[in-house]
Structures are given as C-alpha cells and as structure tokens.
Amino acid sequence: MPVETIKWEDGRVKLIDQTLLPHRFKYLVCRDVKTLWNAIKKLQVRGAPAIGIAGALGVVLGVKDSKAKNRGEFIRKVRKAAKYLASSRPTAVNLFWALARMERVAENCQTEDVNVIKKALLREALLMIEEDKKICRSMAKFGAALVKNGDRILTHCNAGGLATADYGTALGVLFEAKAKGKKIRVYVDETRPLLQGARLTTWELMREGIDATLICDNMAASLMEKGRIDKIFVGADRVVSNGDFANKIGTYGLAVLARYHKVPFYVVAPISTFDLFLARGSQIPVEERGANEVRKVLGTPIAPKDVKVYNPAFDVTPANLVTAFVTEVGIFRKPYDFKNKKFR
C-alpha cells in the first residue's frame, strides 16, 4: 500500500515529514504558504511530482484567506503566491508546471466571485493528486515489462511513493514487477549528502517485501564490474527536448558506469517532468544547497567546520547514456521525439 505523502485535510496541507524518516513517521501540518515553502526548501516534502502537488496546494493556502474584492485583485494574489512558491527549489520542472496550471485555472474563471475561484483552485490541486496516482500506475505497467524474473536492479535517490501521490516512478516499476510475480533484488545507493536512498528508498522497498540491499554511492562501480547489476532505474527532475535530463547528484556518474559496463539505464518520469521549452541539458537550472549538508551527516559534523564545500543537488545526464524513458504514455527510445509522442 503506498503511503499518503501529501493530503488536504480541514483546510490544511498535511505532508509526511521526510526528514524524520525512517525512524519517525509524522505528518507536518501546513496552515500557511510560508510553512509549505519551507517544507519544500528543507526537503520535508521532496521528489519532483510531490513538489508539484505541494506547490499547487501551496497556492490554495496562499490565497484561501484573501479578502480580494474582485477577480483581477484575486488573480494578482494567485500569481504572487505562485511566484513565491517557485522560488523554493529551481530544478524539478513539475513545480513550475503545477504553478502555471494553477494560475491558468484562476485566469480561466470568468466569475467575479472570489470564493468560486478559490473552490476551482482547490479542485485543481486535488485533481493533480488523483491524476498522479493514475500516472504512477501507468508508468509502472510500461516499466515492469522491462524487468525480468531474477533481475538485480540498482536505483538512486528516492523515486518512490514519497516522491509522488502514489507508489512512485522508478520504484513504481519495481513494485509492479513484484506484483506480477517477478523476483527481483534491488541495490539502493545511499545518495549522499541527504541520504534519500538510505533513509527513504530502503524503507519503502522493505515495507513492500522487496529484497533491498543498501550500498554507499561509491560501491556501485564495483558491483557493476562484478556483473552483479542487470539494470538501473532512476527518476528525473527535468527532461529536456534532446533527452538530456537532471536527477539527483550522482545519477550522471551511474549512467557513465552503466555505459562502460553495458548495463541498461532507464529513466522513469511522467510527462509533467518533461520541459520541452529547453533544448539541451546545459540550460537546466541546477540547485546548489548549503555547505553544512556536506560538512555534516544527519547533523553530525564529519569535516572541519569551515571547509569549502561544493554541493549541487542535481547533475545532468546526456541523452546518449539513456537506454529509454518510461512515461505514462509509453516508452521513448532513441532518436527521441517527445513532442510528437513517437514511441520506438
């Protein structure tokens, strides 16, 4: 059963505080847009599709108490809330996709009755949750067909239920493969610096009874060299027109290793993660995060307290290292033609 990562309850947004997992399972209650902005920034809610949904609900929070007297004034408030939420994290395009969708909903409401527009916004955000559930199932069905009984699979970061409204992108594929009776073994990169693999992915896989083995990020090469990885499945934060894509830092290294060792490398992502306004990966804004995330591990210092740090949260993998993109509408293979939905 997937966890309910984010929900709307009694006029508040409730989200699983992912910084506390796996040791504590606790919902964070967001009553205002600022708390929600902070939750995105601090990765209490994280993963591209979940950030999109959080952003949409954040807009609802941002305008729910607005006393705007007319449509024009209210739409300006919606835009202001969306702009504020957009400043939380720059890389996952799902956030910008969801915020733009919310702005469109408000703009398309022709009524001057602000309460009607408020209701339409909430309806749209809740619709995104329902849509994401179906999208996860559809990606999983396409992806599970690529998994063979006995496969040993490597994954990076967390692309599971915690990153979506249902059971995930890359992990959804693995859950579906298991449901189809395939026996698989999954190696999980711990994913330094914030350990989404160690803390979240292992937790999700073990809850579902999937054979999971945690490794440090620097152990993946040795496993591949020994022929112990059959396939790699990862998620994405932004895929651009030529097929370059951004995902959690360390993904690019895995893709290079996969090519050298001839291991198929699959990216599982919904269409809302595709940014066809950008031509190539070098145009993707990559978030850089605070130095203490690297100087410390889960709050414990591991380095001199003033050592210089480089901490990009994502890297960009070139399209030619990807075997295929699994989406809810089908599987894209080279040469990629996302715009015309050409599946090969």
| Between 118 and 217, CB nearer to ligand MRU | 217
Window 208-237: residues binding ligand MRU (CB under 6 A): 235-237
Q: Which residues are catalytic?
A: 237
| Residue with Cβ nearer ligand MRU (53 or 63) | 53
Minimum CB separation from ligand MRU for residue 317, in Å?
11
> CA–CA separation, 21 vs 312, rounded Å?
23
Q: Strand 314-317 to strand 245-248: parallel, antiparallel, or no bridges (unpaired)?
A: antiparallel
User: Closer CB to ligand MRU, residue 143 or residue 235?
Assistant: 235
Between residue 243 and residue 272, which ones bind ligand MRU under the rule CB under 6 A? 247-248
Give the 3-state secondary structure of residue 200: helix
CA 158 – CA 99 distance, rounded (Å): 23
Q: Minimal distance in Å, beta carbon 72 to ligand MRU? A: 35
Count of beta carbons in the 10 Å neighbourhood of residue 35 = 16
The binder of ligand MRU chosen from 5, 44, 196, 241 (CB under 6 A): 196
Q: In the 8-state DSSP scheme, what is residue 260?
A: H
Q: What's the min distance (Å) between Cβ of 164 and ligand MRU?
A: 6
C-alpha 1 chain-centroid distance: 19
x/- contact string, 30-69, with ligand MRU (CB under 6 A)?
A: -------------x--xxxx--------------------
Q: Going residue by residue from 149 to 168, which x/- string records binding to ligand MRU, judged by CB under 6 A?
A: --------x-x---xx---x
Residue nearest to ligand MRU (CB): 235
Fill in the DSSP letter of residue 201.
I
Q: How many CB atoms lie within 10 A of CB 106?
A: 24
170-200 burial, b at 16+ Cβ within 10 Å, e below that, comes to bbbbbbbbbeeeeebebbbbbbbbbbbbbbb
Nearest of 226, 82, 65, 58 to residue 154 by alpha carbon: 226
- Phi and psi dihedrals of 20, rounded to 5? -95, -20
Least Å from the CB of residue 217 to ligand MRU: 13
> Where do the DSSP E strands lie in 6-138?
6-9, 12-16, 27-30
Residue 237 CB, shortest distance to ligand MRU, in Å, is 5
Residues in binding contact with ligand MRU, number by CB under 6 A = 19
* DSSP at 143: H
70 to 109: interface string for ligand MRU, x by CB under 6 A: ----------------------x-----------------
State which of positions 298-317 bind ligand MRU (CB under 6 A): 313
Minimal distance, residue 114 CB to ligand MRU, in Å: 33
Residue 100: other Cβ atoms inside 10 A: 13
Interface residues toward ligand MRU, by CB under 6 A:
43, 46-49, 92, 157, 159, 163-164, 168-169, 196, 235-237, 247-248, 313
